[in-house]
Copies of this chain bind each other. A is one copy, B any other.
Amino acid sequence: MPKVGMEPVRRKALVDAALRVIGDQGTLSVTMSEIARQAGVSAALAHHYFGSKEQLLIETIRSLLRQLRDDTVTALRAAASAQEKLSAVIRVSFQASQFAPDTIAAWLAFYSEAQRSEEVRRLLVVYARRLRSNLLASLKALCPDDDAERIAEGAAAMIDGLYIRQSLRSAPIGIEASIALTEDYVTSHIDRLKFQGTAA
């Protein structure tokens, strides 16, 4: 079977398998063998292409982040007004693929790993910044800058918090309810500023 040009195919298969296995087991303490098995190759091949487990894991996170970024960009393009963009950013965070139990479990495992691996931490900081800045951009069109900062901070925290609560799978808040809760937070604050603005 050895055809030439297998490298990108195998890399993708391994990264996808890694995400599956990590999500399934809810930990980064998964074996290279298991990942390789799921990808349909030997563990030795995984090492051949990635050099180390650490490297494979990092590529896996990168892949997850890339996916999220692409979805966000697409959603933002389709949105016209600031309100729509805001809604789009929130919506993407809770879209089915991101909010699936396995994906959440994987995110959680990555956050935990960030305590040890500087590179993983850096990647997650990129995610946090991106979320905050996407929210901020739209918010600044709707309220004063410093209020926008605070609201963006709060909304980002709420999104992450809904994730972590979802991971416990008790009193499961649905996708729509999560979106509603977050949008409610944002609009409620913007509204209040209007009232205060007219009152003052």
Contact = CB atoms under 8 A, between A and B. Distances in A.
Interface of A: 25-27, 29, 105, 108-109, 111-116, 121, 124-125, 128-129, 132, 150, 153-154, 156-165, 167-171, 173, 181, 184-185, 188-189, 191-192, 195
A57 B114 CA distance: 21
A192 B158 CA distance: 19
A171 B162 CA distance: 20
A157 B162 CA distance: 5
Given A124-B168, A192-B192, A116 B27 contact: yes
B116 A108 contact: no
15 contacts: A27-B112, A27-B115, A108-B112, A109-B115, A111-B168, A150-B181, A153-B173, A154-B181, A154-B185, A156-B165, A157-B158, A158-B161, A159-B161, A188-B189, A192-B192
Nearest to A116: B26
Contacts of A162: 157, 161
Nearest to A164: B160
A25 B114 CA distance: 11
A185 B184 contact: no
B111 A164 contact: yes
Nearest to A122: B170
A81 to B, nearest CB: 22
A51 B56 CA distance: 35
A160 to B, nearest CB: 4
A150 to B, nearest CB: 7
